Structure 1
């Protein structure tokens, strides 16, 4: 079965975006040595899952980058994959693709993702798409977490695990560091563990005064 892989930039205090969805903090730490790793990650997939907002932003950016010769070689390779891969977009409102090889889907999220995982092919990767990711985490449909940890603390913002109600176990399988101070943590999903309901301690009955 294919794996669903989340690749997400996060701060040291666990935010994936600022209070107003700001992302400037991770652009500040981007360095050329990170591009090769990003390309390697994407090359293991052939399908991208996106939410409406992230899809709209990427559809405006990536189509023109694959032929921009001012870009480094690794960035051009990444752009080519982004443009050619299948893109599955979860949206209730959008229906007209504005980016090559895109398909909009509605309906039961769990059923659609499980159908994708059962198909032949390489991994399925997710970028951004905070609300969609929150639902996938809760449904335990993400198999691997690639967390790009940036050396910055925001203090407030959009937390990655904001809707998680129970404990989520992780297994660290790889660690990658870069000159900018960014660290990529490769985790396998160890499963959600429901919180234990504390047992009520029986209180001894009060004796009536004799």
Structure 2
């Protein structure tokens, strides 16, 4: 039986927004780039060999990470992640993109739920969604998320893209880990509660 997990990774403000007004993400930069967080996150991405991305994150990541990976003087966790992102399979979900030029990238030809069900059934390591709120919400609605990693940043945004909308059905989760960062953010790991789950 295949036990390939789907991990959804997202950073939220205290009031539950995944981005601020106009798509502003400046509120999370301090937390995301801190050495403690990059070390913690290395333990997450190193177990995955497939990344799922929406269009916005794909374009943003493609505009930044390949140059970090190609830096001959690069070192540290950020460089390691950049190299991993370059090499890993990247599946992009978009109705507007016509090409995915980043190496090892492809645009999904089928709907998100069908594509992910097939990926989960295939052999391989874990599958991870990197901060693409629309993708994660759709997968939560389809009950396809096995592990939910929420990085809670100490900011109240007041407006923006609210992560948990009314369309996400009720579900139960088990806390599997909590880490407090020196920047004041908290990383919470939840796994989907099943009949065999233990508290």
> Do the structures match in fold with TM over 0.5?
yes
Say if 1:89 and 1:102, in contact at 8 Å, map to a contact too. yes
Q: Give the C-alpha shift of residue 29 in structure 1.
A: 2.9
Task: Work out the CA distance in 2 between the residues paired with 1:111 and 1:49.
Answer: 13
Q: Give the C-alpha shift of residue 143 in structure 1.
A: 0.9
Say if 2:129 and 2:135, in contact at 8 Å, map to a contact too. no
Q: Give the C-alpha shift of residue 107 in structure 1.
A: 2.3
The structure with the greater share of residues assigned to helix is 2
Aligned to 1:66: 69
CA displacement 1:106-158 (0-9 Å, x = unmatched) = 32322210100011111000012222222111111111111111111112221
Task: Work out the CA distance in 2 between the residues paired with 1:69 and 1:159.
Answer: 39
TM-score by length of 2: 0.89
Q: 1:53-92, aligned counterparts within 5 Å? A: 53-68=56-71, 72-92=75-95
TM-score by length of 1: 0.85
Task: Work out the CA distance in 2 between the residues paired with 1:71 and 1:11.
Answer: 31
- Structure 2, unmatched stretches of 5+, are 195-199
Aligned to 1:7: 9
**Residues 82 and 165 from structure 1, CA distance in 2 versus in 1: closer, same or farther, beyond 3 angstroms?**
closer
Say if 1:134 and 1:163, in contact at 8 Å, map to a contact too. no
Task: Work out the CA distance in 1 between the residues paired with 2:119 and 2:25.
Answer: 29
Q: 1:185-204, aligned counterparts within 5 Å? A: 185-190=188-193
Q: What is the number of equivalent residue pairs in this alignment? A: 191
Task: Work out the CA distance in 1 between the residues paired with 2:38 and 2:73.
Answer: 15
Say if 1:16 and 1:160, in contact at 8 Å, map to a contact too. yes
Bigger radius of gyration: 1
Matched, 1:158 2:161: yes
Moved more, 164-173 or 76-85: 164-173
Aligned to 1:93: 96
Say if 2:31 and 2:37, in contact at 8 Å, map to a contact too. no
Say if 2:4 and 2:121, in contact at 8 Å, map to a contact too. yes
Aligned to 2:152: 149
Residue aligned with 1:133, SS: helix
Residue aligned with 2:82, SS: helix
Aligned to 1:130: 133
- Structure 1, unmatched stretches of 5+, are 192-210
Matched, 1:38 2:41: yes
Residue aligned with 2:151, SS: strand
Q: Give the C-alpha shift of residue 163 in structure 1.
A: 4.1
Q: Give the C-alpha shift of residue 95 in structure 1.
A: 2.8
Matched, 1:121 2:124: yes
**Residues 108 and 29 from structure 1, CA distance in 2 versus in 1: closer, same or farther, beyond 3 angstroms?**
closer
